[in-house]
């Protein structure tokens, strides 16, 4: 029975449309590029789809060190000295593994991969085979698919992907989920906390994506980490998790390293996080307020 988006809705929260589009593209025999900011569930989506379709899933981290040899594979040097170049001593790389088994090859951060390595991928997509020196042609088994992910916001160490890649792939844009979906994800993956306070934390994280000084805001991972840090601080301080100062400390720890400010911004990430925190939880309560929850 074919996998449907309904089968994966509980596993990949708030991604019903993207699941349907991905399954349609893969079902049509297409290769796919997922484009979107970090933390939007690209890897989770692909692992879930591969798992439900019961196909091998080969994960590769894209970076400048991903040479054609690392992607395709190599002959075992020790075995070559004693036996020569025999097919049985070739060590398959992730691309060849995926091609032989009809699996899904997933490359993260495709725009960090060297051009010469991309050229190997182009051959596998266009011809359905790769020619390996001293090994010969390796043909892709039925079901072989190549899926890549890219983060369009981080230009450091990245390069523009050639039109040849886009011409051979279908593109699915993945933005951030809705606030309801992010709240649900936080409830599933974070510690148990008061619902209203968790909703405010979700609102705080979402506000990092809209601040004029912030180039890249936080994903829902920021919510999960903030909830976790706050829970640990509450236990260590014997304080209520909704305590204003405790929440600010947790927000600073969870978010100050995640957000990316514009180069022209003269403020620190900590200052921006505090401003955003005060916008959601109110200004710092005075000692004689008698209520340190920070709720406006």
pLDDT above 90 (res 10): no
Same topology for domains 5-173 and 179-289, yes or no?
no
Q: How confident is the model at residue 166 (pLDDT cuts 50, 70, 90)?
A: confident
| Residues 76-100: tens digit of each pLDDT | 888 888 888 888 889 999 999 999 9
Tell me how far apart the alpha carbons of residues 294 and 244 are, in angstroms, rounded to a whole number.
5
The residues pairing with 74 across neighbouring beta strands, listed in sequence order, are 91
Q: Which CATH number fits domain 5-173: 2.60.40.10, 3.40.800.20, 2.60.120.10, 3.40.50.300?
A: 3.40.50.300
- Look at residues 287, 223, 288 and name the one whose alpha carbon lies nearest to residue 255: 223
Its pTM stands at 0.81
Note whether 25 and 170 are within 8 A (CB).
Answer: yes
Burial class (CB in 10 A: 0-12, 13-18, 19+), 290: exposed
- Ramachandran sector of residue 190 (left: φ over 0; alpha: ψ -120 to 50; beta: rest): beta
| Residues 95-131: tens digit of each pLDDT | 999 999 999 999 998 988 998 999 999 999 988 999 9
Q: How confident is the model at residue 49 (pLDDT cuts 50, 70, 90)?
A: confident
The tokens for 145 are 């698919």
Q: How are beta strands 90-92 and 73-75 bridged, if at all?
A: antiparallel
- Ramachandran sector of residue 46 (left: φ over 0; alpha: ψ -120 to 50; beta: rest): alpha
Tell me how far apart the alpha carbons of residues 196 and 83 are, in angstroms, rounded to a whole number.
68
Tell me how far apart the alpha carbons of residues 254 and 218 are, in angstroms, rounded to a whole number.
9
| Residues 227-279: tens digit of each pLDDT | 999 999 999 999 999 999 999 999 999 999 999 999 999 999 999 999 999 99
Q: Give residue limits of the domains in the chain.
A: 5-173, 179-289
Q: Is 280 helix (H, G, I), strand (E, B) or coil?
A: helix
Neighbours of 154 (CB within 10 A): 16
Position 6 scores a pLDDT of 53
Tell me how far apart the alpha carbons of residues 23 and 12 are, in angstroms, rounded to a whole number.
13
Note whether 218 and 258 are within 8 A (CB).
Answer: yes
Note whether 20 and 5 are within 8 A (CB).
Answer: yes
pLDDT above 70 (res 294): no
- Look at residues 269, 251, 273 and name the one whose alpha carbon lies nearest to residue 260: 269
Tell me how far apart the alpha carbons of residues 48 and 184 are, in angstroms, rounded to a whole number.
18
Position 1 scores a pLDDT of 41
CA 249, 253, 256, 259 torsion: positive or negative? negative
Tell me how far apart the alpha carbons of residues 108 and 111 are, in angstroms, rounded to a whole number.
9
Mean pLDDT of 160-187: 89
Burial class (CB in 10 A: 0-12, 13-18, 19+), 81: exposed
- What would the CATH number be for the domain defined by 179-289? 1.10.8.80
């Amino acid at each position: 029975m074919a996998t449907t988006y309904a089968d994966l809705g509980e596993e990949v929260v708030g991604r019903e449309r993207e699941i349907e589009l991905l399954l349609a593209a893969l079902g049509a025999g297409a290769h796919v590029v997922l484009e979107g900011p970090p933390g939007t569930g690209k890897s989770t989506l692909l692992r879930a789809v591969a798992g439900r379709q019961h196909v091998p899933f080969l994960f590769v981290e894209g970076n400048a060190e991903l040479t054609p040899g690392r992607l395709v594979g190599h002959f075992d040097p020790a075995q070559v000295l004693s036996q020569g170049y025999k097919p049985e001593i070739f060590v398959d790389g992730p691309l060849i593994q995926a091609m032989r088994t009809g699996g899904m090859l997933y490359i993260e951060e495709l725009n960090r991969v060297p051009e010469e390595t991309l050229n190997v991928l182009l051959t596998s997509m266009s011809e359905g085979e790769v020619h390996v020196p001293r090994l010969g042609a390796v043909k892709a088994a039925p079901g072989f698919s190549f899926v890549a992910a890219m983060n369009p916001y981080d230009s450091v160490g990245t390069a523009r992907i050639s039109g040849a890649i886009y011409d051979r792939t279908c593109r699915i844009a993945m933005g951030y989920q809705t606030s309801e979906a992010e709240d649900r994800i936080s409830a599933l993956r974070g510690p148990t906390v008061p619902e209203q306070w968790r909703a405010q934390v979700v609102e705080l994280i979402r506000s990092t994506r809209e601040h004029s000084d912030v180039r890249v805001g936080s994903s829902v991972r920021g919510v999960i980490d903030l909830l976790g840090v706050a829970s640990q601080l509450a236990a260590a301080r014997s304080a209520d998790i909704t305590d204003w100062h405790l929440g600010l400390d947790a927000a600073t720890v969870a978010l100050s390293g995640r957000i990316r400010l514009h180069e022209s911004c003269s403020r620190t990430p900590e200052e921006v996080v505090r401003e955003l925190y005060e916008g959601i939880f109110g200004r710092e309560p005075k000692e004689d307020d008698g209520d340190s929850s920070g709720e406006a």
